[in-house]
Chain A
Amino acid sequence: MEHGGGLMSLYPPIANSDHFVSTTDRFACIVRYGMHDTVVINDRQYDVPMQGISRLKAPEIANVYNYIRSRWYPNLPPMSEAEVRKQLANCTKSGN
């Protein structure tokens, strides 16, 4: 799990995740409000709800994103605090 691989069918991987790549435009919403619907990640279904972490502020969310990016997705651009704020202003509150 330390290597971003997730844990069986309980927690999906964060490394090499097609879902992560396709949702970078609402990453901040997912962190803040969680995910509560069934998602398919790398052809595997996950339905355990992910709780949001509402106490993380915009700079902290940017830090989380940029850590994940630098560790597993070096080809993606980094995310600024301004981008996080922009995303948070447009959340649908379901994260998905």
Chain B
Amino acid sequence: MKTVKVLPWLLSYILIGCQSTPAKLPILGETEVSNGDTLYYTVSDFNFLDQDSQVVSKATLSDKIYIADFFFTSCPTICPKVKAQMLRINEKFAEEPRLSFLSHSIDYRKDSIPVLHRYAAKLGITGGKWHLVQLQKDQIESVANQYFNIAFEDETAPGGFDHSGRLILVDTKGRIRSYCDGTDEQDVDRFMQDIELLLDEE
């Protein structure tokens, strides 16, 4: 696994974030000021079919906060640990209908809808809250960049793809509000507090 590159401005948020526990989560990403209004970074529109062949788009998730991540079903490295942590989050918020999950597979060759469906079944994912979608080859980089994430094809990486194990928290307006290292249980604990903060705010 390569070291994940963090953009300098993203790093500055981390450093600021360490100083105190905010009562309200910061809004991450570049902002623009236009006619006196602050315009925040938002995730661009998307349209996928999930493991149950249901449409997942910005519109279908418009009343949800969601956790985005990148993985592939045959990933031999960090994905098992990340998925175990996501299951922990899913269990903790099992009764919370306002939280969804959007897991992007970057294996455009193998992770078809039936493969994702079987994978979800093996993880006990049911109930329509957790969407697994397959990215096409030409979508990987652009979608991953939407979430400040890094995922790309790399024939030298185990399994053929390289990506970070980061989990990204997105609010109902498509704004990125928090993230964590999905392989680190303690960081995920902190992330779950952020999820509660955001649910209180929404």
The interface of chain A, by Cβ under 8 A from chain B, is: 1, 7-11, 34, 48-53, 55
The interface of chain B, by Cβ under 8 A from chain A, is: 73-76, 80-81, 83-84, 87, 119, 122-124, 158-159
Task: Give the complex CA separation of A9 and B119 in angstroms.
Answer: 9
Q: Is A51 a contact of B119 with CB atoms below 8 Å?
A: no
Task: List 24 A-B residue pairs with CB atoms under 8 Å apart, sorted by A's residue number.
Answer: A1-B80, A1-B81, A1-B84, A7-B80, A7-B83, A7-B84, A8-B124, A9-B122, A10-B80, A10-B119, A10-B122, A11-B80, A34-B76, A48-B73, A48-B119, A48-B122, A51-B74, A51-B76, A51-B158, A51-B159, A52-B76, A53-B76, A53-B158, A55-B158
Q: Tell me, rounded to whole Å, the shortest Cβ–Cβ distance linking A26 to chain B.
A: 18
Task: Give the complex CA separation of A49 and B110 in angstroms.
Answer: 12
Q: Tell me, rounded to whole Å, the shortest Cβ–Cβ distance linking B192 to chain A.
A: 18
Which of B75, B76, B123 is close to A7, meaning CB atoms less than 8 Å apart?
Answer: B123
Given contacts A48-B122, A51-B75, 19 further A-B contacts (CB under 8 A): A1-B81, A1-B84, A7-B83, A7-B87, A7-B123, A8-B123, A8-B124, A9-B122, A10-B83, A10-B119, A11-B80, A34-B76, A48-B74, A48-B119, A51-B74, A51-B76, A51-B158, A51-B159, A52-B76
- Residue on A nearest B75 in the bound complex, by CB: A51
Q: Tell me, rounded to whole Å, the shortest Cβ–Cβ distance linking A20 to chain B.
A: 17
Task: Give the complex CA separation of A49 and B159 in angstroms.
Answer: 11
- Which A residues touch B83, using CB under 8 A? 7, 10
Task: Give the complex CA separation of A48 and B158 in angstroms.
Answer: 16
- Residue on B nearest A50 in the bound complex, by CB: B76
Task: Give the complex CA separation of A49 and B74 in angstroms.
Answer: 6
Task: Give the complex CA separation of A50 and B159 in angstroms.
Answer: 9
Task: Give the complex CA separation of A82 and B122 in angstroms.
Answer: 38
By Cβ-Cβ distance, the 3 closest A-B pairs, closest first, are A51-B76, A10-B122, A9-B122
Task: Give the complex CA separation of A34 and B73 in angstroms.
Answer: 14
- Which A residues touch B122, using CB under 8 A? 8-10, 48
- Which A residues touch B74, using CB under 8 A? 48-49, 51
Q: Tell me, rounded to whole Å, the shortest Cβ–Cβ distance linking A83 to chain B.
A: 23
Most buried by B among A7, A9, A53, A55: A7
Task: Give the complex CA separation of A8 and B124 in angstroms.
Answer: 8
- Which B residues touch A52, using CB under 8 A? 76
- Which A residues touch B159, using CB under 8 A? 51
Task: Give the complex CA separation of A50 and B76 in angstroms.
Answer: 7
Q: Tell me, rounded to whole Å, the shortest Cβ–Cβ distance linking A28 to chain B.
A: 16
Q: Tell me, rounded to whole Å, the shortest Cβ–Cβ distance linking A21 to chain B.
A: 22
Task: Give the complex CA separation of A49 and B118 in angstroms.
Answer: 12
